[in-house]
């Protein structure tokens, strides 16, 4: 599917898909836009970030938006918390770290050679690694007999 968005005013710095919903979210400057699969704008949300959005994760009504050093959590476009990172945030993912029935945790890749996991605004785990973490991803285990 291809479509044109209205002028956003700033360059797009991050794009995120909402899992299972056919919705696309775009971070440009300090604003988050939401578009349907057909390109119709359904959300325009000016965040309270002073930094350009460089990380963006959307899950149901929750939005995690990160700049260079600040991660802000929104619930239904209302401020639900923030985390000030001790060093530059290079990437962001979210996962149910404590189990499938728990709220999603923020997993932050930092320039200072640490992966930090936050439950809300609280540091949950901190893992030192050998070098600056530039990207995060999930490894799916191969299911026996599966083609994936």
Q: Which CATH architecture has domain 12-128?
A: 7 Propeller (2.130)
Residue pair 102/94 in contact by the 8 Å Cβ criterion: no
Residues 90-138: tens digit of each pLDDT: 999 999 987 777 789 999 999 999 999 999 999 999 999 999 999 999 8
The predicted pLDDT at position 142 comes to 63
Burial of 32 (0-12, 13-18, 19+ CB in 10 A): buried
The rounded Cα 58 to chain-centroid distance in angstroms is 6
Q: Which residues, 6+ apart, have CB-to-CB distance to 114 below 8 Å?
A: 87, 126, 127, 128, 129, 133
Closest by CA position to 51, among listed 72, 78, 79: 72
Residue 148 has pLDDT above 70, yes or no: no
Residue 147: pLDDT band (50, 70, 90) is low
Q: What is the pTM of this model?
A: 0.87
Q: Give the C-alpha separation, 123 to 144, whole Å.
A: 36
The domains of the chain are located at 12-128
Closest by CA position to 87, among listed 114, 113, 116, 110: 110
């Amino acid at each position: 599917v291809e479509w044109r968005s209205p002028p956003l005013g700033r360059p797009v710095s991050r794009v995120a898909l909402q899992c299972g919903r056919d919705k696309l979210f775009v971070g440009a400057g300090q604003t988050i836009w939401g578009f349907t699969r057909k390109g119709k704008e359904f959300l325009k949300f000016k965040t309270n970030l002073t930094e350009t959005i460089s990380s963006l994760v959307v899950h149901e009504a929750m939005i995690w938006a990160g700049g260079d050093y600040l991660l802000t959590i929104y619930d239904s476009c209302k401020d639900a918390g923030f985390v000030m990172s001790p060093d530059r945030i290079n990437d962001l993912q979210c996962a149910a770290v404590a189990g499938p029935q728990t709220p999603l945790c923020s997993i932050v890749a930092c320039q200072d050679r640490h992966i930090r996991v936050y439950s809300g605004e609280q540091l949950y785990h901190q893992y030192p690694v050998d070098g600056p973490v530039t990207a995060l991803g999930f490894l799916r285990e191969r299911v026996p007999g599966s083609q994936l």
